[in-house]
A and B are shown apart, each in its own frame.
Chain A
Amino acid sequence: MSLLAVEELVAGYGPVRVLNGLHFVVEEGEVVVILGANGAGKTTTLRALSGVIEARGRIAFNDREIRGRRPDQVAAAGIAHVPQGRGTITDLTVDENLRLGAFTRRDREVAADMERWYALFPRLEQRRSQLAGSMSGGEQQMLAIARALMARPKLVLLDEPSLGLAPIITQDLFQTLGALNREQGISMLVVEQNAGLALEIAQRGYVLETGSIVASGTAADLTGNDDIRKAYLGI
């Protein structure tokens, strides 16, 4: 049984169809990357998974059908979506953003988890009582990831985490994501234009072109494929 199994996923905006029946899976403990150019449907895929937009097809998460659920219900089921543009709640402090990340939890270990993620992202700890909207883009991206982890999700959806960040910060960020996967076993589905970095931390990947999956394979296969190297890696 896969952690996430998507079949025949069709979605779009109004009359405009963006996804034409996607099939893909994410296994427990895996990082899977979806590569694709602008407009291929990467963001739409994640928005369909988390219930932000309507979709058809089957989305089985932990063997349960979650298609048609509201975003807050999908989050409660254990999927944390880090949206494109980071979704910072600008009028709340860093601390409050993290606490809101734990909204679906009922246990008493929220404070302990906060300290754990502060230890991983010391920049955030320095700014814990500062309004989140006043931080730099890189810091806000770290906050978005830490906030997603506060929910203790079984799967994290990451939408273009490198967007708008300086290359050195992006590199750091992907190292952290890779470490989170290796050391904590957190499963991730990442959509990313920066294919090189994403493939370094991923075990498998899919290539999305105008709403259809045109290639898939292990990260090594995709990195070694000439067409993909030309189209997405620029080498």
Chain B
Amino acid sequence: MSLFLTQVLSGIQDGAIYASLAIALVLVFKTTGILNFAQGEMALFSTYLVWKFTDLGIPVWLSIILGMAISFVGGALIERVVIRPVEGSPPLVIVIVTIGLFLALNSVTQFVFGSGQRAVPAFYAHKVWRPGGVLISSDTLVLVSVLAIECGLLFLLLNRTKLGLAFRGVASNPESSRLLGVPVGRILMVGWGLAAAVGCLAGALVVPTTAGLVPSSMQGILVFAFAAAALGGFDSVFGAVVGGMIVGIADALTTGYIHALQGIDIIVPFGLILLVLLFRPAGLFGTTHVERV
């Protein structure tokens, strides 16, 4: 029982990170209808930025906030400069552009920050409690709390502000929103900017719980985040969180009990993606678009 609970908690901790990055994917997909394969590498660059700030002696929490602010601007610029010119192109063209962005960002990151392993410190003290043999780590508590706060703020932004209303309007019907005076281009930039900032937060929180920051740090996480978003529905922030948790817990339980899966646990997210596509292509909380003509 204690092994089971320990594995579930560990799964929730991973799930919080997958959920965060999945939220970034959802924010981009909702507004621009694009599956952003470069989301992980955007987060990678952002996380290196946070590392650089901590390396300069800036407190970790401040480094994360600075990193998120710069990532917001960077994400908005990527939308304007890289994505806008291919807006409305066939999906394959856009997929290739985001894959190109993936490779470019990975190379730029290594060029700017080097390819060695970097340590990003955590902004909290690492502690472990063992009530009744169940392992509870401060990592889990912090990651889940941050995810909860992040979701709360996003909810307020999307549902209680004029910007959020415009954001949802553009996600649902850009042509009509534009006729109402919404500057659609700027809203799309905000969507990409928010996604980049959320990705930065995910990267800066996950790296201290792992061995260290390397140029491939975010690639595995992106696969799990894609599984989470596919599971929850690519257009649902709530779905991204539930999907992230399911993927995280499923992964922790399978690898915890089936030792043969350790090292090849990437089979879990792929298996989940396959199942979703077979039985519920829009995801658990995604909207299936039914056109009335």
Residues of chain B within 8 A of A76, CB atoms compared:
181
- Contact at B168–A72, with CB atoms within 8 Å? no
Q: A72-B181, A72-B184, A100-B177 are in contact. Are A91 and B165 (CB under 8 A)?
A: no
Least Cβ distance of B239 to chain A in Å? 14
Tell me the smallest distance from the CB of B202 to a CB of chain A, in Å. 26
Q: Is B77 an interface residue (CB 8 A)?
A: no
Interface residues of B in 273-293 (CB under 8 A from A): 287
- Other-chain contact of A88, B166, B171, B173, B178 (Cβ < 8 Å): B173
Q: Return B87 CB to nearest CB of chain A, in Å.
A: 14
Give the complex CA separation of A198 and B168 in angstroms.
Answer: 34
Given A83-B175, A103-B162: A91 touches B180 (CB 8 Å cut-off): no
CB atoms of A147 and B180 under 8 A apart? yes
Residues of B within 8 A of A101 (CB): 180
CB contacts under 8 Å to B, within A88-102, are 88-92, 96, 99-101
Are B178 and A72 touching (Cβ within 8 A)?
Answer: yes
Whether, in the assembled complex, B215 has its beta carbon less than 8 Å from a beta carbon of chain A, the answer is no
Contact residues in A for B172 (Cβ distance below 8 Å) = 89-92
* A217 interfacial contact with B, CB 8 Å: no
Q: Are A50 and B179 in contact (CB under 8 A)?
A: yes
Question: Which residue of A has the minimal Cβ distance to B162?
Answer: A103
Check if B183 is an interface residue, CB within 8 A of chain A. Answer: yes
Residue of A nearest to B174 (CB): A89
Nearest Cβ distance between residue A83 and chain B, in whole angstroms?
6
The answer to whether A87 and B175 touch across the interface, beta carbons within 8 angstroms, is yes
Task: Tell me, yes or no, whether A196 is within 8 Å of chain B by CB.
Answer: no
A91 to B167, CA, bound (A): 12
Contacts of B171 in A (CB 8 A): 91
A-side contacts of B169, CB under 8 Å? 89, 92, 96, 100
In whole angstroms, what is the CA distance A80 to B180 when docked?
Answer: 7
Interface residue range, chain B: 10 to 19
Tell me the residues in window 26-59 of chain A with beta carbons closer than 8 Å to chain B beta carbons: 50, 52
Q: Do most interface residues of chain B lie in helix, strand or loop, or is the interface mixed? A: helix
Q: How far is the CA of A33 from the CA of B263 in the complex (A)?
A: 71
From A70, A90, A103, contact of B180 by CB (8 A): A103
Q: Answer whether residue A175 sits at the interface, using C-beta atoms and an 8 A cutoff.
A: no
How many angstroms between the C-alpha atoms of A83 and B174 in the bound complex? 13
Q: Are A71 and B179 in contact (CB under 8 A)?
A: yes
Question: Which size class do A's interface residues fall under?
Answer: 20 to 34
Interface residues of B in 147-179 (CB under 8 A from A): 162, 165-166, 168-169, 171-173, 175-179
Q: Is A151's CB under 8 angstroms from B181's CB?
A: yes
| Of listed B165, B172, B182, residue having the most chain A CB within 10 A | B172
Please name all residues of chain B whose beta carbon is closer than 8 Å to the beta carbon of A103 when the two chains form the complex: 162, 165-166, 180-182
The smallest beta-carbon distance between A117 and chain B, in angstroms, is 14
Chain A contacts of B178 at CB under 8 A?
A: 52, 70-72, 75
Beta-carbon contacts under 8 Å, B166-209 to A = 166, 168-169, 171-173, 175-184
Instruction: List the A side residues contacting B162 at CB < 8 Å.
Output: 99, 103
Is the CB of A203 closer than 8 A to any CB of chain B? no
A83 and B178 CA atoms in complex are apart in Å by 11
Residues of chain B within 8 A of A100, CB atoms compared: 165-166, 169, 177, 180, 182
A170 interfacial contact with B, CB 8 Å: no
Decide: A75 and B180 in contact? CB cutoff 8 A: yes
Contacts of A50 in B (CB 8 A): 179
A223 in the interface, Cβ–Cβ < 8 Å? no
B290 to chain A, nearest CB (A): 10
The answer to whether A87 and B181 touch (CB under 8 A), given A92-B168, A99-B165, is no
A residues bordering B, Cβ < 8 Å? 50, 52, 70-72, 75-76, 80-81, 83, 87-92, 96, 99-101, 103-104, 147, 151
Known A50-B179, A71-B179; 9 more pairs at CB < 8 Å: A70-B183, A75-B180, A87-B175, A88-B173, A89-B173, A91-B173, A100-B177, A100-B182, A101-B180
Task: Provide 23 A-B residue pairs closer than 8 Å at the C-beta atoms, listed in order of the A residue.
Answer: A52-B178, A52-B179, A72-B180, A75-B179, A76-B181, A81-B179, A83-B176, A87-B173, A87-B175, A88-B173, A88-B176, A89-B176, A90-B173, A91-B171, A91-B172, A92-B168, A96-B165, A96-B168, A100-B169, A100-B182, A103-B166, A103-B182, A147-B180
The 6 closest A-B pairs by CB, nearest first: A87-B176, A75-B181, A104-B181, A91-B172, A71-B178, A89-B173
